[in-house]
Chains A and B, each alone.
Chain A
Amino acid sequence: MTVATTDLDRLKSGADQLFSKKKLAGFSIPLVIIAYLVYIFFAFDVPGLYSRADMDNARTLVADSYSYKMHVTRDNRSAEVDISIEGRRNGTYPEDGSPDWVTRGEETVIDLGQGHIATFGPEIVTYTIPGYGTFRAEPGRSGVNATFPDGDLPGWINASKNRVAITTEAGRFTVTRNRTEVFRYFNGWEAFWFTLDSPYYGLSVGEVAGRAVQGEAGDIFTAFWTNSMWRHQDVAWALFETVLMAFLGTFGAGLIALPLAFLAAKNFAPLMAVRFAMRRMFDFLRGVDALIWTIILARAFGPGPLTGALAILVTDTGTFGKIFSEALENVDKAPIEGVQSTGASAIQRYRFGVIPQVVPVLISQLLYFLESNTRSATVIGAITGGGIGLLLTQAIITQQDWEKVTYFIVLIVLMVMAMDWISGILRRRLISGDGTGH
């Protein structure tokens, strides 16, 4: 009886200990995580981030990604008026053309909507703001020569002798000695389909479809494909290059890694030294990392898709070598012996005994990597200069083409998702449909 009681006591104290240990773990793990995140919070100077963050940049970025602005510019010396999309040369209206909110003439009248009217006369420019009055200026050599309505200047007017900037909800009006500029903002991506010089610019979807039916489909496609502002042709090529990098890199690595993996697998390479050398080589290729391979290879091959493909190929040869050799070590002996018992040669043993067992693993790994390498190829392209990664970095560096940046991001996400989808389909088809390997 006493024995049972001590037993019970021991059990109880053991259980108590276990509970207190679990309790401790239950509290300490979240605490450690929180402590680490607090450390990161200060180590990365997150509190200082607010002062460093450039909210103006953020605003331009967001506004620019879904809207565009039309520039109406008057050269104050020659009184010539230019109308263009975002001030770009290849987005400029012809001399006699204009959007319907601008009336060209002796005096150019710009209707900014909501009652805001700007005019560019031969000498004088004006801007009429409802509820405030009319601003007038006679820019010339002596300055802007501005006249404001009576009263104090409101905060949204920024005026000096040589420059006046007026920002309203309808747009922006700037006068300097040499230029007068009016910006009007619109939603959307202008000239995405056709540029201004194309005959299809400004037509509705129905009209374009009608023309396509009448036999102009080829011309319409050419106009879209060679759009000089959005450069659809170059973008498509860049996407193709990125996928190409991933494809060549992944499958090239697979082709090189497969024979090497046999040399690294315990059951196929009896020589310890060979196995060891192969494994260390795989570790080295993987450990050097795609970044360093990219830098090294870019020196030898120059910028371009081939460099990116080779960087992926080298890194993944290490990875595949490791995976494949592990898969080979896990093969079942029975089928190999079965094939051998029919008097098969060594090559036939590999062909019918080993390959059918490992092929599903290899293909599924290759296809997994194809998708993830599409993403890597975007990043590597940004470093070596190839594919959509290059276009993206170029667009970001200009710091004003945010609508293009948005467009590229959407395309990249769609490309990666498409590769994921295709690799999933192929994985299911190839593995379930051809599992026997015959």
Chain B
Amino acid sequence: MAETSASTRVDVIQTDYMALTRRKRLYSLVLLIVFVALMVAGFNTADSRNAGGFWNGITHVFDFPAEVLGEAWENIAELPRHLVAHLPALIETLNIAAASTLIGLIAGTVLALLSTRGLARWPRLIGLFRRLMDIARAIPEIVIALVLIFVLGGGPVPAMIAIAIHTTGALGKLFSEVNENVSLKPVEGLRSVGATWAQQMYLGVIPQVGPNYVSYALLRFEINIRASAILGFVGAGGIGYDLRNAMSWGQGKYDQAAAIFILLFLTIVAVDQISGYLRAHLTYGTQAREGVRP
């Protein structure tokens, strides 16, 4: 009697389990089908709204790089001169990225401290500062840059401000996540001896979170170099601006564009490597896996 009831229980469990598995498989299958359908439909829509079709273009992908490289190869003797000529623009691009990262780091730190429970100067305004960061993070750099170029004229400043605003939001969010894990003991100690809020934060919190902050800021610096090159392309100075000019001279003059491509590529790879190395040392590998999130 006891045996039969045990075996029926096992049967029931097994049929339940199999039903559950089948249902899960079905869900997974449905999800997969929906996903594939979305990809195919999306591709067809994008293809039909593109000026040139995918299947016509795919055979010509390497035409342009081949042309640029061919011209660069013909004028290979000129290449070092071009590389040197565009170096100031590259430095401007790097400066835009560095300055905006620095400003974003400072502003993001302040906003993150103001929006962390337990650390906030005005606990009631936490929500407000969080929304501010959300909005700053959601605005693509190009939006602010284009509007500021209209008011301030071309040059590095609009790009710097635009990238700094986005960086503030992006870093602020990451920083406030770091702040969640801060030990409050140093802060309480400092408060008990009458330190002001700024002193509590600078002496009690920053030393705890500093390495994490710097690690995230380095990551942001990599991303901001790319952003500042792109903003140059729409008129905000730096290497991107040179690139657009070099492109507009058209066929026969692509050796300059090739020089800029090389400079930009080498810079991005070099900065990625250096910052990856520094980050690995700052956080002892805990953040290494999230290494390349923009």
Binding site for B on A (CB under 8 A): 33, 36-37, 40, 43-46, 49, 52-54, 57-58, 61, 241, 244-245, 247-248, 251-252, 283, 286-292, 295-297, 299-307, 309, 319, 322-323, 326-327, 330, 365, 368-369, 372, 375-376, 378-379, 382-383, 386, 389, 392-393, 396, 399, 405, 409, 412-413, 416-417, 420, 434, 438
Contacts and interface: CB of A to CB of B under 8 A. Distances in A.
Chain B interface main SS type: helix
B62 to A, nearest CB: 8
15 contacts: A49-B152, A61-B147, A248-B43, A248-B46, A288-B265, A289-B264, A291-B230, A295-B64, A299-B60, A299-B64, A307-B50, A382-B142, A393-B146, A396-B147, A438-B25
A300 B64 contact: yes
Interface in B202-235: 226-227, 229-230, 233-234
B49 A306 contact: yes
A61 B151 contact: yes
Given A251-B35, A302-B50, 15 more contacts: A52-B155, A53-B152, A58-B151, A241-B46, A286-B292, A289-B268, A291-B233, A296-B61, A300-B57, A301-B53, A301-B57, A378-B142, A378-B143, A417-B138, A438-B21
Given A61-B147, A302-B52, A292 B272 contact: no
Contacts of A40: 95, 99, 160
Contacts of A299: 60, 63-64
B42 interface: yes
A300 B152 contact: no
A88 B50 CA distance: 30
A329 to B, nearest CB: 10
Nearest to B153: A52
Contacts of A304: 46, 49-52
B134 interface: yes
Chain A interface main SS type: helix
Contact of B139 (A369, A413, A420): A413
Contact of B51 (A49, A283, A303, A368): A303
Interface in B28-69: 28, 35, 38-39, 42-43, 45-47, 49-54, 57-58, 60-61, 63-65
A301 B153 CA distance: 32
B153 A53 contact: yes
B247 A295 contact: yes
A245 B46 contact: yes
A365 B60 CA distance: 32
B289 interface: yes
B90 interface: no
Given A300-B57, A412-B140, A57 B50 contact: no
Contacts of B63: 299-300
Contact of A383 (B35, B38, B50, B234): B234
* Size range of the chain B interface in the assembly: 35 or more
A187 to B, nearest CB: 21
A302 B46 CA distance: 12
Nearest to A288: B265
A309 B49 CA distance: 12
B195 interface: no
B24 interface: yes
Given A37-B102, A295-B247, A286 B272 contact: yes
Contacts of A43: 92, 95
A413 B264 CA distance: 29
B291 interface: yes
A302 B51 contact: yes
B60 A300 contact: yes
A295 B234 CA distance: 13
Contact of B39 (A241, A248, A372, A409): A248
Interface of B: 21, 24-25, 28, 35, 38-39, 42-43, 45-47, 49-54, 57-58, 60-61, 63-65, 92, 95, 98-99, 102-103, 106, 134-135, 138-143, 146-147, 150-153, 155-157, 160, 226-227, 229-230, 233-234, 240, 243, 247, 261, 264-265, 268-269, 272, 288-289, 291-294
Given A244-B42, A420-B138, A323 B153 contact: no
A373 B269 CA distance: 21
A237 B289 CA distance: 37
Given A49-B157, A248-B39, A248-B46, A416 B140 contact: yes
Nearest to A282: B292
A44 B155 contact: yes
A15 to B, nearest CB: 17
Contact of A57 (B25, B92, B150, B155): B150
A287 B42 contact: no
A323 to B, nearest CB: 6
Nearest to A289: B226
Task: Select the residue from A302, A306, A307, A412 with max chain B CB neighbours within 10 A.
Answer: A306
Nearest to B150: A57
Contact of B135 (A37, A295, A413): A413
Given A57-B150, A399-B150, A379 B230 contact: yes
Given A44-B95, A286-B272, A393-B234, A292 B261 contact: yes
B291 A322 contact: yes
B264 A54 contact: no
A121 to B, nearest CB: 40
Nearest to B160: A44
Contacts of A245: 46
Contacts of B64: 295-296, 299-300
B277 to A, nearest CB: 14
A390 B152 CA distance: 22
